[in-house]
Structure 1
Amino acid sequence: MPLDYEEMIKTSVPPLIYTSQEELKTLLTKGVILNMGKTWFSINKNGQHCEMISAAECIIPLSNTDNSYSHEYASRFVTGNCLMFRWKFQTHIQTQFLSPKTVYTVNLVFKIKKHKWSSYGEPTYVTIGADPSFLYFADEREDGWLTAKLYKFTSEGRYVDLEIIFESIANYDSSVLVVEGIEFQPLEKVDHEDETDGQIAKKLYLFFGRGFPIKYVEGTSPITGAISAIWTPPHHLNV
């Protein structure tokens, strides 16, 4: 069912003010907060829908840690960013506004906060084992946020139900993972010709460091921070 944009924006925060359909389209192209502050929605140049679920809406801590929320990093969302002190958490994401029959990447949108007594040091490299195809590197965006592409799939409709577990594989008390949310971004070009829709690795390792993208070299030292992500395949909801 096509989205009724005028009906959809009734949940926008703050309420949108526009005088024509063209003005509404311009607002949606820039991006708006919907779902009572829980979802960031925008339309790309091809008319496809981009959706980000806030950290507060989708994160479930896996341990008794002192996670908190902060506006220090200019979050889009009313609740702010989630500060993950132990890098261990689960996400349960339910989309509402995806474009049907569209190839999407699922991205973790984040930053890394270093304590004052810590430093990144020299750019680092990582050992990735026999098969590098399961590594997902972080890219720095123009707005200063980092994104790690976790997964790719083709949407059947607007609604998808998805779970991801992030488990720390080292002790990173010297840094805090600042999570903005989980983003569903239409894929405008295929990075690798041999990729297939719905490809899932049982463990996807995310490596974060000073330089982006990070190179991988056998036999070199571990990187500044690393966590693993374990997937539950997405369920397409016919609502």
Structure 2
Amino acid sequence: NSSILSAILLISGSVAAFMPTDQVRKAVECILFNIQELGKIDIKEVADIANKLPNDIIDQINQYIGFLPIIVILPGMVAALFLLLQTFCGNKASCKLHCCFKFNAFIIHVFNLLSMIIGIILTAIAVAMYIPVVNEQLTILTSVCETTVPTLTRLALSISDVPASAVPVDQVNLVTAVPAAVATIERFCPCIYSMLDAFSVMFLPGLVLICAGIYGYVTNLSSCVSSCCAGSAKVSPGVGTVSSTA
């Protein structure tokens, strides 16, 4: 049955898209948490960079980022559910329960469209990762992790080798602040790498959602062409004429 096949494709694409999207959610939450932690560190240069992203914006992102995987998986799963329910409403040979079929067809069209839009977005994100301009900016972002941590680590080691009595007054805070900054950045950078990895594997799930959506539309339209959406013809008793039921 084409409806069952379309439902399987939608479920497969939705589940496949859910996993990297949930990985992005976790990575973003980790990044935002560590940005806030960096803002608390008593190193002016580090705190100033971290505080460029206001806490109210971070709170808003944290409030809604948890819905991201649900938004990605929900349209495809709903469309798949109604595709399966559609098989109980009628078929091309005997289109019974036409109101049921029409309602299901409408819901499938709407959620198929949403699923395809999500698939296009995921595919575009994955493709954008390989565009030279975007790749260059990502390299700059990751290079900060590759250079900042070793620099701060060397600074922390040099400070730890100095006796406490010999540390200048204006640098006393660095004794505890630098190791704290190193620890926070070491947690922060893997989150960035995790997010970028998730972006790069979104192409195939997005493509599956697009193909499943197109196939679902073809399935619905072919059923409507076969009169499932318009009603079935029946012969009026005793007259010999043909009438249509909705």
For Structure 1 versus Structure 2, the TM-score category normalised by the shorter chain is under 0.3
| Structure (1 or 2) with the greater strand fraction | 1
State the structure with bigger RCO (CA 8 A, min sep 6), 1 or 2: 2
- TM-score between the two structures when normalised by the length of structure 2: 0.20
- TM-score between the two structures when normalised by the length of structure 1: 0.21
- State which structure, 1 or 2, has the greater radius of gyration over its C-alpha atoms: 2
